[in-house]
Chains A and B, each alone.
Chain A
């Protein structure tokens, strides 16, 4: 019987394509999830713990944004401020 190396290579090549393709799909999904979890805090995603904090802060939120101008402490203000 002829050796048919072409069939052997086709079988191994096809299996490699399928298995590497599946592995790449898993890796891509993992990096997508990592990206999403990195973006989640800034997009207002609420976790059960942060929900309580946000709700409490939402009642009277006077906190200055971190990137904004810092407010002077009340006792350092003069009456005109």
Chain B
């Protein structure tokens, strides 16, 4: 656990340097676009967390194993934390770029549903992801997986470093939470 924690801290530091230092100033938005290196990896972790909740919950229903139950519990909790970070950083990014902290845009609303109703989050994730395609939204469409002019390589690299860092942070938090839940169960037995 300590090694994972140390690797995560190093990855987060690298992500910070890449996002705030190495990545170039974006032409249209200016430096405020650097929030992307925080916002997008956070929502990535939220997606992964709720997908893990979905799979672990099905595994629990099928086999009634305590390990699957603990994994679902831990992943849901960590997912809510990262969804909160996504909404907060998105709101801060929205003010200078869209002129508003909050609007009932399809993407923003569906992420809020994800945050509030994390128990059924697995069914909401496709809605969150495709909301910018299915509806006309203020939020921009997916940047990485849509055809069109490619992002500069240095921006993609900085984003990938942060994806890795946030994924490691997710694994670290979930491992720690699962360990705590196991010890709580042992203490209560």
Contact = CB atoms under 8 A, between A and B. Distances in A.
A33 B16 CA distance: 33
Interface residues of A, number: 25
Contact of A14 (B20, B28, B88, B169): B88
A15 interface: yes
Interface of A is mostly: helix
A11 B92 contact: yes
Contacts of A47: 189
Lowest 6 A-B CB distances belong to which pairs?
Answer: A4-B32, A3-B31, A4-B96, A11-B92, A11-B89, A3-B30
24 contacts: A1-B32, A2-B30, A3-B25, A7-B92, A7-B93, A7-B95, A7-B96, A8-B20, A8-B32, A8-B35, A11-B88, A11-B93, A12-B16, A15-B42, A18-B81, A18-B85, A19-B85, A22-B78, A26-B177, A29-B180, A30-B183, A33-B187, A40-B187, A47-B189
